[in-house]
């Protein structure tokens, strides 16, 4: 097992790739860009292959059988350390990290800043395709990372529980309605996902100390059980990875997110 952090810098990844570690870089960015320029040895993964929909809920975790097939095709083994990246803010890449947690595969890292940061730091890209060596990976859901609306409803008024809403301020307040109902889950803390990013540095993670202060000010105490959500748990998957990197121990995600909660008239909503 590799001792790599949940969020890894381009330099640290380059050093790890130069060694003997069992690392698989998985790129979930634009497929046309990937065909022309990608990290040498990396493989491409279509984001849609690791999610599913059950209308109106979207962004659900793909089935165990589907994930087994997808990860076997990429050659994943239980000992493989996955480094996920994309070229558009790392939302898709973070969702892959979250998905791996959902099946108990905890050997993963997110490339800080993604492909733009890799290039900005002077590391080369390749146009050479890497051969896939299929495996027989068996994906089985793990308890903990995936929370449902029913679970949230049961804990919503507990002092040691809080949800993190990673959507925009207008979505949170109900001004921007993207479901049957607008607003947010009662008592949810609002921390829009891109607040954690340094936009001027290829959207890399900002100062750890600043983030900890901001999260605590928002009510996101590291001792609480935190469940992150957005519209389809794409943006909030990044929030999930950020919290894990910061050392938060009790972190989960709500895959159906607002597309599930906001379309259920039987669930409470705050605006």
Percent of the chain exceeding pLDDT 70 equals: 99
Which of 85, 97, 102, 230 is catalytic? The answer is: 230
CB atoms within 10 A of CB 199: 10
For 239, residues 6+ apart whose C-beta sits below 8 A from its C-beta are 164, 166, 191, 193, 196, 228, 230
CB within 8 Å of 261: residues ≥ 6 apart: 149, 152, 179, 185, 229, 254, 267, 269
Pairing of strands 57-61, 51-54: antiparallel
29-77 pLDDT per residue, tens = 999 999 999 999 999 999 999 999 999 999 999 999 999 999 999 999 9
What's the pTM value of the predicted model, to 2 decimals?
A: 0.97
Q: By the 8 A CB rule, do 87 and 115 touch?
A: yes
Name all domains of the chain by residue range, CATH numbers in brackets.
7-120 (3.40.250.10), 149-261 (3.40.250.10)
Q: Would you call 102 a catalytic residue per the annotation?
A: no
Euclidean distance between CA atoms 165 and 104, whole angstroms: 24
């Amino acid at each position: 097992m590799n001792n790599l952090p949940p969020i890894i810098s381009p330099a640290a990844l380059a050093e790890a790739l130069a060694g003997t570690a069992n690392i698989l870089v998985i790129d979930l960015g634009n497929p046309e860009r990937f065909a022309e320029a990608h990290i040498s040895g990396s493989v491409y993964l279509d984001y849609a292959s690791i999610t599913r929909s059950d209308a109106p809920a979207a962004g659900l975790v793909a089935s165990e059988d589907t994930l087994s097939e997808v990860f076997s095709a990429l050659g994943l083994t239980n000992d493989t350390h996955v480094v996920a990246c994309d070229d558009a803010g790392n939302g898709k890449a973070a969702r892959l990290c979250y998905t791996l947690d959902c099946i108990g595969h905890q050997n993963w890292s997110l490339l800080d800043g993604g492909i733009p940061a890799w290039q900005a730091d002077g590391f080369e890209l390749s146009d050479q395709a890497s051969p896939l060596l299929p495996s027989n990976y068996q994906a089985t859901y793990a308890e903990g990372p995936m929370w449902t609306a029913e679970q949230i409803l049961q804990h919503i008024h507990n002092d040691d529980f809080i949800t993190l809403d990673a959507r925009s301020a207008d979505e949170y307040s109900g001004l921007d309605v993207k479901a049957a109902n607008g607003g947010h889950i009662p008592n949810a803390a609002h921390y829009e996902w891109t607040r954690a990013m340094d936009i001027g540095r290829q959207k890399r993670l900002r100062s750890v100390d600043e983030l900890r202060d901001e999260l605590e000010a928002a009510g996101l105490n590291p001792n609480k059980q935190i469940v992150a959500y957005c519209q389809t748990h794409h943006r909030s998957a990044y929030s999930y990875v950020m919290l894990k990197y910061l050392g938060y121990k009790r972190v989960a995600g709500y895959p159906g997110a607002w597309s599930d909660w906001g379309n259920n008239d039987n669930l409470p909503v705050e605006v």
